[in-house]
Chain A
Amino acid sequence: MAAVTAEPQKGELREPAGWRRTKNRIATALMVLSFVVVIIPLGFVLYTVIAKGASVVGWSFWTSGTIPSIVAPLGEGGIGAAIVGTVEIVALASVIAVPLGVLGAVYINEYGGNRILARIVRFMADVMTGVPSIVMGLFIFSIWVVHFGTNGFSGLAGAFALACLMLPIVIRSSEEMLKLVPNSLREGSYALGATKARVTMTVVLPAAIGGIVSGALLAVARAAGETAPLLFTILGAQSLNWNVFHGANTALPFLIFSNASQPYVGAEARGWGAALTLIAICFILMIVARLVTARFARYAR
């Protein structure tokens, strides 16, 4: 393409060079500028989080089970409870959402085909990705938490809310991956007399597994960073809670949110430390997802 654009400039038979070329250059410069505009806030945020968080994080900060009160100075306690909570809740949410999402994608791509119901499900999954995360929190609050009173607040409720958020993402990404599986694989298995369920489970899904895992990891990264669905479902706890099914729990985003607007130096510092930890977790998930995609990409084609 570059060669094509270069051509008329060299030829300069009709190229007036003046205003048209200037306009083209201005437009190109603006496009490059818009990318620069995107990098600046990203760099600014990452720099601040690393600069302010690096001195806070450390082994004892990560492992200390009890979150100190917001007025406590830095050095007392740590965010272990929030890390454990995040891992528990996000893992449980994934256990709920990933299998259901993959099955939903199997329905859309393998069974539904072009049928109207499959098209509706696909369309509504797209729409559901746009439902605000806070609405998911309100939803789980009104369908689950209110029926159990104060016992309703638990890691499980938070996991339900996150699972609602993840479900449509997993469905759409898995469906895209199932689409890439060549039909010859399916036809070959049918020719051997396999049932459709068997073909799906032993041929189609394994062929698409790389993409499915990578899509699921991106959904997990998204869920791990979400605060709003957790606000009304896990209540927030100060101490370590290993039981994800019972009792108030806490999570990294939740902790950051409650520390963010506190005028106490210790709380603020813990917020930055937790933010660095959370960003690290999300980035690692994303990088792993990319690696998985790269690893399986050849197989998928």
Chain B
Amino acid sequence: MSAVTRVDPAVPAGSTRALSARRPLGDRSFQILTLAAGLLVLVILVLIAITTSQQATSWFSAEGLKIFTNNWNPGANQFGGLAFIYGTAITAAIALIMAVPVSIGVALLLTEVVPPRWARPIVYVVDLLAVVPSVVWGLWGILVFAPWLQHIYTSIASGVGGVPVLGPLFGQPVDGASFFTAGIILAFMITPIVTSLSREVIATVPAIDKEGAYALGATRWEMITGAVWPHSQGGVVGAVLLGLGRAMGETIAVALVIGSSPEITSHLFAPGYNMPAVIANQFGESSGVFRAGLMGLGVLLFVFTIIINVVARGVVQRNARRKRGA
């Protein structure tokens, strides 16, 4: 009896060794069932790695290190995927540059500025961005947003044409469906997750730190830079990394608006391609090494996003633990 009351309630009664021998069969099988369900996550992740790599072997063996060259020409049996990796990096970078300041701004607005009863509807609105399906962003992006952006791109491009640095980035050629359009759409799509994670992190800043800053006569902004930011820096970095992972893997919207042209160019307004988009667009009509190549790009994408997510979650968790301890 005393054993029952003393154990950590999170691991109650039944799991103490002495009792476990007497536990009914149903009880033990339920535990095994839950364990199996928990392990399923690990099993799926391992199976993803194994089965997709298997399907991609002919690409890795046929091309070797040439998978990292810049020539994707299925007609000529050339499958170098560098342009897609480049496109993934560029679009994700554009998305982060636009989404991160906005997300942190909204997170600070929610936690430090507006009263809680206003915060809730704002959270709902931001979350709505995440509820709009990827394909709807894509449909809107290609039919409405890209044609509209094209006018803006054209005037920017004619303005910066000869300027160094800006010229190669924002000059001609110009297309509505481009790296930049894809980056903007991705920014819309990752804003909710970066916002909500940053908000969670910022909400853990102890009230006493903030009150201390105010007591010293700080303005709200000085309080944010002096008390909130040092405390939540690490967690926000984690949130940004998770946003990066999302931006890299987001497929359908990008497949529709990126312009589908496997090129490595500094021109952000030019059509490009990235890894998920090429898989989505070309997988259906592929076979042999071509298909293995697309599968291989999927494997690379999986590896990249897993690494980023592991690092990001690690950063977030460590930050949370350290702050709780302090």
Contacts and interface: CB of A to CB of B under 8 A. Distances in A.
B41 A34 contact: no
Interface residues of A, number: 106
Interface SS, A side: helix
B89 interface: no
B139 A272 contact: yes
A298 B109 CA distance: 27
Contacts of B106: 31, 34-35, 38
A62 to B, nearest CB: 17
Contact of B214 (A4, A118, A120, A278): A4
B276 A134 contact: yes
Interface in B265-299: 276, 279-280, 283-284, 295, 298
Contacts of A26: 221
Contacts of A116: none
A290 B40 CA distance: 29
A295 interface: no
Contacts of B306: 127, 130-131
B251 A225 contact: no
A210 to B, nearest CB: 18
29 contacts: A14-B217, A24-B220, A30-B105, A31-B106, A38-B106, A38-B195, A42-B188, A103-B33, A106-B37, A108-B38, A113-B8, A113-B11, A124-B41, A127-B313, A130-B312, A132-B248, A167-B44, A171-B41, A183-B9, A187-B9, A195-B24, A196-B13, A196-B27, A199-B12, A225-B131, A256-B138, A279-B131, A286-B127, A286-B131
Interface of A: 1-2, 4-5, 8, 14-15, 20-21, 23-24, 26-28, 30-35, 37-39, 41-42, 44-46, 48-49, 100-101, 103-104, 106-114, 117-118, 120-121, 123-128, 130-136, 138-139, 141-143, 146, 164, 167-168, 171, 183, 186-187, 190-191, 195-201, 221, 224-228, 231-232, 253, 256-257, 259-261, 268, 271-272, 275, 278-279, 282-283, 286, 290
Interface of B: 4-5, 8-15, 23-24, 26-27, 30-31, 33-42, 44-45, 47-48, 51-52, 54-55, 101-106, 108-109, 112-113, 115, 122, 124-129, 131-140, 142-145, 188, 191, 195, 210-211, 214, 217, 219-222, 224, 242, 245-246, 248-252, 255-256, 276, 279-280, 283-284, 295, 298, 301-302, 305-306, 308-310, 312-313, 317
